[in-house]
Structure 1
Amino acid sequence: MTPPDLQTWLITQISEKPSLETLFTGFCKKLVKQGLPIWRSQLGLETLHPEDIGFSFLWVDGALQERARARPGLLASSDYINSPAKHVDDTGTAFTWKAGEDDRGMGLIKEFIADGVTDYVMLPLPFLDNARTASVSFATKAPGGFGAEGHEALRYAATLFSPLAERIALRRVALDALTVYLGATAAQRAYAGQIERGDVRTLQAAILIADLRGFTLLSDRLERRAMVALLDRWFGVMGEAIEAQGGDILKFMGDGLLAVFPLDGDASASCARALAAAQQTIAGTAKLNEELVQEGQAPLRFGMALHCGDVEFGNIGAKRRIDFTVIGPAVNHASRLEGLTKVVEQPLVLSDTFAHTLGKPLRSLGSHVLRGVREPVEVFVPE
């Protein structure tokens, strides 16, 4: 592709605001159309997420697929250590290979030899945000490879592609980070501009509050990192259940958790999802407790409560440190209700409001007095 052609196409993409998938697919097709014999191209970008170290788009013969790359253990894996990506990440320089050269002990190069690849290059992308890696690679099966002119054209193309790719990628990095720390709904609102202190909006939601029992005793007995690891395992069980049912975890409070399920559309269905998340947590914790007993540890005990009502959802805090959270009488009611699980000796209790909104058969535990609530309230558990 001649420089003006590529520049013109990329400029049009700025106004069209494509997704990274669309941009990369179009980029590969444009290069092929201009005579570069690309068989395979891969775009790899590091993100900011505790579980996924990054994501990549693999384009092979016109077909695109997205791949997530799990963070845990990746940098110590042999697949990464013996890879072109490791060379590019460490040196910030291009990696090249041609047919007839040694495979360097790299699994990827061995695959290329088997596939009949004649030339391969991986290039670092010159992102301004150099705290995270970004690269693009090209492979061809053409006799003679890309040639010196083709390699120069690919380097030039990658340099021109880089600013627009970074512009789109940074949005994903920002949303990933915000989602991890705020939750999906809060992340979208904060990124959209709801960041002013005191900017809160009334939201109808099912509220889930959970708390471990005997946390102080556990903290005294376990070494600090072991305690953190145990909390991570339990929160992991809860997080998977809540995320699977479309809820948002807004806050971890020591050994406790606050999550909401917005009552959008069908309120009964939203409450049903909240109840399903709670029941999945109970089942998941039972499985975790089996593992803990096998490891010689005591099983976990906990309490959960479900309530629903209006909450104020938004930014609350100091001038330079705010929290995106929910407050209101409904949240306080859910907290008081969770404390009742100790009295009734049930892992999960539901408020009368939640039971009414759910509209499905439940078992009543009768009326109980909640701390700070004037009148006794009827409490329910699943049948």
Structure 2
Amino acid sequence: MNAPPHIDPVTPASDGDLVHWLIHHTRGERFLDNIFTELCVRLQQEGIPVKRASLHMLIQHPQWIGARITWGDGMAEAELERVDHEVTERSEYIGSPVNEIREGASEVRENLERDPSLGRKHAVYDGMRAKGLTDYVAWPMYHSLGKLHVVTFATDRRGGFEAAHIGGLSRLLPVLALVSEIRVKNRLARTLLETYVGSHASELILAGATRRGSGMTVSAAIMICDLRDFTRISDNWPRDDVIDLLNDYFDAMAAPIERHGGEILKFIGDGLLAIFPLSEPSACANLLRAVSEARQAMVALNEKNSETGRAPLNYGIGVHVGDVMYGNIGSRERLDFTVIGPAVNMASRLEGLTKQLGKTVLLSRAFADFVGNDFVLERVGEYPVRGFSDPIELFAYHG
């Protein structure tokens, strides 16, 4: 949870002082919800009777269409809620003030003291009346390139906001838009990096690891997973069905990996590469727990697919442990943040052997030594592995 904002004492003044504060005294605050909370407190201190306020921000995220920041009188911290993409099809959005603004309204103003039968019909207004609020206003807040967000204010003052209150609030909007855009774009950059390269790699990149060849040596358990017969599936299934299949398959595999502390570095067609850094003492055990949950998820997925006549999905997983080079590799202008090294090659070769040996999960002896007797492993035997001079002792995991 974000730390509550520090509120400096202020004396009643003009909205020009609030503009000055927004421009010059919020530079060190990373979180928009903290800035918004302090803004609302300062508005009250300057005589604008704000009782409730909210920001509705569109964001670019694979799971969420936006975020809603809501502040109420007496709150030291604003509430921050993510909003899913399907919200636009639900009653909470349809006909709401935010809906009106996004469809082109330059202002939504509602007198909450008058007879409800004479006003707008939506649950949001009923909820505000129930809390004793008397007046409500919502405005569009524009970021660059036409990006539209929404800001709202409400009061419980008898008679609602005065004209001077509305004027003071509206004059803050251009500066609030600039201040909020900086935070939203910073968060967007972080979100996009986390989405495409993973949380740990994104932190390194944001910290400055952007030069080709920059990187480090990391000791890690390496997991490579690949879907079987994908070429046949992609040749014979409709395109949208193939995409849905891949997404469902990756959901089944990826969620347990992330839940148990692994980092997915890349999706390669129908395969994935993940690492569990050994800086976490239980990394290898966590990898096997993730594999167990992923296998259960794949059983459930295959049962669901069988109901529509689809054949079960088969896959192979290769696991090894060792030192890898973790960093930037690529051309001068197009880089990939990934891991390379013999340990990665070994995991890849073991994944390839799963089909030959009829095992779903193959582990190297080096990895098996890390988990000891905590998991039941089946010794498969020693087998030559392409690219390595000596045969490798292999174990299967059926958990």
Give the TM-score category using the shorter length: over 0.9
How well do the aligned residues superpose, as a CA RMSD in angstroms?
1.9
Residue matched to 1:341: 354
- 1:290 to 2:306 alignment: no
Contact 2:317 2:362 in 1 (8 A): yes
- 1:61 to 2:77 alignment: no
Deviation at 1:336, TM superposition (A): 0.2
Kindly provide the amino acid, as one letter, of the partner of residue 301 in structure 2.
L
- 1:45 to 2:60 alignment: no
User: Which aligned pairs between 1:258-297 and structure 2 lie closer than 5 A?
Assistant: 258-266=273-281, 269-297=282-310
Q: Which whole-Å CA distance do the structure 2 matches of 1:48 and 1:178 have between them?
A: 12
Q: Which whole-Å CA distance do the structure 2 matches of 1:360 and 1:125 have between them?
A: 59
Kindly provide the amino acid, as one letter, of the partner of residue 29 in structure 2.
K
Q: 1:76 aligns with which of 78, 89, 99?
A: 89
Counterpart secondary structure, 1:91: coil
- 1:214 to 2:200 alignment: no
**Kindly tell me: are residues 246 and 265 of structure 1, through their superposed partners in 2, closer, same or farther at Cα, counting changes over 3 Å?**
closer
Residue matched to 1:317: 330
Deviation at 1:92, TM superposition (A): 6.4
Q: Which whole-Å CA distance do the structure 2 matches of 1:164 and 1:260 have between them?
A: 38
CA deviation digits over 1:38-78, x for unaligned, max 9? 2211112111111111112111223321100112x233333
Contact 2:23 2:175 in 1 (8 A): no
Counterpart secondary structure, 2:50: coil
Counterpart secondary structure, 1:271: helix
Contact 1:55 1:66 in 2 (8 A): yes
- 1:205 to 2:220 alignment: yes
Q: Which whole-Å CA distance do the structure 1 matches of 2:326 and 2:212 have between them?
A: 12
Q: 2:150 aligns with which of 123, 127, 135?
A: 135
Q: Which whole-Å CA distance do the structure 1 matches of 2:331 and 2:103 have between them?
A: 41
Contact 2:26 2:35 in 1 (8 A): no
Contact 2:257 2:264 in 1 (8 A): yes
Q: Which whole-Å CA distance do the structure 2 matches of 1:134 and 1:224 have between them?
A: 35
Counterpart secondary structure, 2:289: helix
Deviation at 1:15, TM superposition (A): 4.1
Counterpart secondary structure, 2:93: helix
Counterpart secondary structure, 2:159: coil
CA deviation digits over 1:206-246, x for unaligned, max 9? 11110111112212221111011011011011121111112
Q: Which whole-Å CA distance do the structure 2 matches of 1:88 and 1:163 have between them?
A: 19
User: Which aligned pairs between 1:250-261 and structure 2 lie closer than 5 A?
Assistant: 250-261=265-276
- 1:34 to 2:46 alignment: yes
Counterpart secondary structure, 1:121: strand
- 1:121 to 2:134 alignment: no
Residue matched to 1:175: 190
Contact 1:82 1:107 in 2 (8 A): no
Q: 1:185 aligns with which of 176, 189, 200?
A: 200
CA deviation digits over 1:170-193, x for unaligned, max 9? 111111111111111111112222
Residue matched to 2:3: none
Residue matched to 1:244: 259
Q: So what's the TM-score if we normalise by structure 2? A: 0.89
Residue matched to 1:302: 315
Q: Which whole-Å CA distance do the structure 1 matches of 2:244 and 2:189 have between them?
A: 27
Residue matched to 2:29: 17
Contact 2:318 2:362 in 1 (8 A): yes
Residue matched to 2:372: 359
**Kindly tell me: are residues 92 and 170 of structure 1, through their superposed partners in 2, closer, same or farther at Cα, counting changes over 3 Å?**
farther
Say which is worse superposed, 180-189 or 15-24, in terms of deviation.
15-24
Residue matched to 1:153: 168
Residue matched to 1:224: 239
Counterpart secondary structure, 1:340: helix
Say which is worse superposed, 370-379 or 144-153, in terms of deviation.
370-379
Deviation at 1:307, TM superposition (A): 1.3
User: Which aligned pairs between 1:101-120 and structure 2 lie closer than 5 A?
Assistant: 102-120=118-136
Poorly superposed stretches of 4+, deviation over 6 Å: none
Contact 1:210 1:258 in 2 (8 A): yes
Q: Which whole-Å CA distance do the structure 2 matches of 1:259 and 1:129 have between them?
A: 37
Q: So what's the TM-score if we normalise by structure 1? A: 0.93
Runs of 5+ consecutive residues of structure 2 not aligned to the other structure: 1-12
Residue matched to 1:378: 393
Q: Which whole-Å CA distance do the structure 1 matches of 2:373 and 2:45 have between them?
A: 60
